[in-house]
Amino acid sequence: MSESTNVDDLLDAIAKVLIRCFGFGILLLALSFGVILLAKEQIYEIHGQWYDLTPNQFDLVFYSVLATAKTCVFLFFLVPYVSIRLVLSKRRS
């Protein structure tokens, strides 16, 4: 087996891990969004008392965290996955 094949196999394995992490990240974001849609008032009551937040501040914090998490999921999982796939397709052609 050549060294090139070993590198290709390693990159393929890393790409598979990255796409699964991306899927789990998106699933977690969707779950978080669903929970906040269904139980926003209850979550606000708990956190609003702990941190003395207004409803507008709570919404701002929640959507900021979701936006940051979504950016991180795309930046750290999808971009490297696409990059690896592009490298592998170029090497195989």
The pTM of this model reads 0.87
Rounded mean pLDDT, 54-60: 93
Vertex 31: Cα angle to 30 and 34 (nearest 5): 85
Query: Of 69, 84, 93, 92, which Cα lies nearest the Cα of 5?
Result: 92
Rounded mean pLDDT, 33-56: 92
Share above pLDDT 70 across residues of the chain, in percent, rounded to a whole number: 98
